[in-house]
Every structure is written in structure tokens, then in C-alpha cells.
């Protein structure tokens, strides 16, 4: 009887040690780091994960990155999939890319509008404090007209910094107009950008 108890105790101890070893191995899965730069005017939701040979997703990381900012995340090493979603743009945009990243590596990853197949990407204008939703087309025309009527010499001058460097703007009402006349920002809780051709045409 005692002999059977010893066998049972040995089996439980061995199972516990094996289970602990597997847990430790899972926790020690190799990782790497990615510095993700959001070089768009849209809020991005980024997902990074690795697929196993059976198609299971491992080590999934999901973060939200505001416009023109950057974040560093820890991801599983190996052949990973990166998915970018611009849920707040109109229409919503998505891209997916796969690449290999070595254990303990540090990768710089820049996300531009071109990743989404467009030349400009921005959050759609949402509700303001008055709970009134602006008509986006009307706002675009109003901003373009206001910027065309104003000019660099008479407006309050601004210098806005972004991934591409500093750009000069002048203020007209609630709009910040690019000195090159190729775009403007709408001022509010968040800056919303409209890109235009020369002289604020076809924004």
C-alpha cells in the first residue's frame, strides 16, 4: 500500500515539474522590439503577431498610435505579421505586411499613407462639444476659401513639426493654412488636415 502511495506521489511530482518547465519555456519565448512611427494624420490601430505552422496566432500585440507619433512595442521574434488599420479615416483603410525579425533585434518601422495605397490619410472629422456634426465637404470648401483669402504676411505665423520636418503655416480664423498653399489644418480638439493642389485647389 505504501509502495503505491510512493508511486502516485512520484507521478504527481513529475507531472508538476514537467508542467512548470513548459510554462517557463512559454514565458521565455524569444522576442524583439519595433519602433513604429505613424507618419500619417490618422489614428492607427496596429496588430503584430506570429503564426504557427498550424495557423495558430501567437504573441499577439495590439496598440493604438495617434497621428504623427511613435511607439515602441515588444513582439514575438520570427516571421511576424503586421496589420495596420485606420478605423477613423473615411473610408477606413487597412494594410498587412509580413517580415522576419531576429531575436532581441530592434527594428524601425515607418508607416506612411502609401502603405494604405493613398497619398494622404487623416481621421474623419468627428463631433465637437456642441454635438453638431460638420459636413466634411462644406468644411473643406470653407477652409480652402478662407486660406485663399488670407496670406502669409497678414496671418499669425506657425511652424508645425512632423516626421518630414518643420512646415510653415499661417492662421486664418480656425484654419492653419500651409504657406505653400497645398493644404490646411482645421483647428479643434484635434488638428484635421486637408491636402490641396497649388493655391488651395481641389482639396
Give yes or no for residue 114 having a pLDDT over 80: yes
Question: Interior CA angle at 192 toward 190 and 129, to 5°?
Answer: 45
Give yes or no for residue 17 having a pLDDT over 70: no
Q: What integer best gives the mean pLDDT of the chain?
A: 80
Q: List phi, psi (to 5°) of 109.
A: -130, 115
Q: List phi, psi (to 5°) of 71.
A: -140, 145
The answer to whether 174 and 167 are in contact (CB under 8 A) is: no
Would you call 51 exposed, middle or buried from its count of C-beta atoms within 10 A (0-12, 13-18, 19+)?
A: middle
Q: What is the pLDDT of residue 8?
A: 44
pLDDT in tens, 153-199: 888 899 887 655 678 999 988 899 999 999 998 887 667 888 888 89
Strand-pairing partners, residue 203, are: none
Amino acid at each position: 500500500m505504501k509502495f503505491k502511495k510512493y508511486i502516485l506521489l512520484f507521478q504527481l511530482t513529475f507531472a508538476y515539474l514537467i508542467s512548470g518547465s513548459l510554462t517557463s519555456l512559454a514565458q521565455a519565448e524569444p522576442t524583439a522590439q519595433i519602433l513604429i512611427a505613424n507618419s500619417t494624420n490618422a489614428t492607427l490601430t496596429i496588430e503584430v503577431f506570429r503564426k504557427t505552422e498550424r495557423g495558430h496566432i501567437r504573441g499577439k500585440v495590439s496598440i493604438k498610435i495617434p497621428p504623427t507619433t511613435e511607439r515602441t512595442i515588444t513582439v514575438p521574434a520570427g516571421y511576424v505579421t503586421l496589420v495596420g488599420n485606420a478605423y477613423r479615416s473615411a473610408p477606413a483603410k487597412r494594410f498587412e505586411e509580413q517580415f522576419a525579425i531576429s531575436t532581441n533585434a530592434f527594428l524601425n518601422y515607418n508607416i506612411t499613407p502609401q502603405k494604405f495605397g493613398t497619398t494622404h490619410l487623416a481621421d474623419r472629422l468627428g463631433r465637437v462639444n456642441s454635438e453638431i456634426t460638420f459636413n466634411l465637404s462644406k468644411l473643406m470648401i470653407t477652409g480652402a476659401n478662407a486660406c485663399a483669402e488670407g496670406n502669409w504676411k497678414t496671418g499669425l505665423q506657425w511652424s508645425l513639426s512632423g516626421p518630414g520636418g518643420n512646415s510653415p503655416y499661417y492662421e486664418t480664423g480656425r484654419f492653419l493654412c500651409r504657406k505653400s498653399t497645398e493644404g490646411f489644418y482645421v483647428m479643434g480638439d484635434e488638428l484635421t488636415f486637408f491636402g490641396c493642389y497649388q493655391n488651395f485647389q481641389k482639396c
